Amino acid sequence: MSQKMQTNKPLLMPKPDCQICPRLAAFRAENRAKYPDKFNAPVPSFGPESAELLIVGLAPGLKGANFTGRPFTGDFAGELLYSSLLKYGLAQGEFKAHPDDGLELINCRITNAVRCLPPENKPTGDEINQCQPFLKSQFDHMPNLKIVMALGLIAHNAVLKTSGEKLSAYKFTHGGQHELGNGLTLIDSYHCSKYNTSTRRLTEPMFHDVFEIIKSNL
Ligand code: URA
């Protein structure tokens, strides 16, 4: 079935106090007590549902998306991601690392494989699987979805599972492009995390190369 098919079902969103993953719910409660004025809830996707491009990250960072409620906003990783989106015309406005900065995404939406903050930024396999219905629903609610950009191996695998594909059939490589059975093109990039950029596993030109591939496919 093509992912371009619309669904009548409402977009599936984790509840603000989602209890599906006990470890993540306990960590959220801890962080709510520590930082009561911050977002501390499953982070919703950002950008228009009409977009052709969906970017899938890993999970919110503690003082980034988990504090602000917008993916990659306040996270170190967001600096490179949003500057690249602005450079490639996939965003307009100014990125000020705050959800009220007025930044708008153009033909692009951003979500995470896991919606809640995981301890040490490491969700377990079970937690990734439990969050899969939310990613699937996201796909079904993007009638023009054409390209899914996976930031890192966990996002790559989550996209494959959500699309009903065998993981062994699609190897993750930076800049790798995969045509999926559901009509979507999966394009991989190393995650734009602080660790990857400081170790130079991912440089800005390498990240931009992937956006060149994406732009040529849109
Ligand atoms: N912030 C997010 O929202 N997702 C990531 O994968 C990293 C930081």
Please check whether residue 104 lies inside any domain of the structure.
Answer: yes
Mutation pick for ligand 1 pocket among 40, 63, 72 (CB with most ligand atoms within 8 Å): 72
Atom of ligand 1 nearest to the CA of 110: 3
Domain that includes residue 35, residue range: 22-217
In a domain, 2, yes or no: no
Residue 3 covered by a domain = no
| Cα(171) to centroid(ligand 1), Å | 22
CATH number at residue 62: 3.40.470.10
Q: Is the CB of residue 57 below 6 angstroms from any atom belonging to ligand 1?
A: yes
Within a domain: residue 103?
yes
Model confidence, pTM? 0.96
Pocket lining: 72 vs ligand 1, CB cutoff 6 Å: yes
Q: Residue 71: CB within 6 Å of ligand 1?
A: yes
In a structure prediction context, what are the per-residue pLDDT tens digits for the chain, which is 218 residues long? 444 556 778 899 999 999 999 999 999 999 999 999 999 999 999 999 999 999 999 999 999 999 999 999 998 999 999 999 999 999 999 999 999 999 999 999 999 999 999 999 999 999 999 999 999 999 999 999 999 999 999 999 999 999 999 999 999 999 999 999 999 999 999 999 999 999 999 999 999 999 999 999 99
In a domain, 15, yes or no: no
Total structural domains within the chain: 1
At a CB cut-off of 8 Å and minimum separation 6, what does 198 contact? none
Domain-embedded: residue 11: no
CA 119 / ligand 1 centre spacing (Å)? 13
Cβ partners under 8 Å of residue 7, min gap 6: 137, 140, 141
Is residue 6 domain-resident?
no
Q: How much distance in Å is there from the Cα of 166 to the middle of ligand 1?
A: 25
Q: What angle do CA 117, 122, 127 make, to 5 degrees?
A: 70
* Domain annotation covers residue 14: no
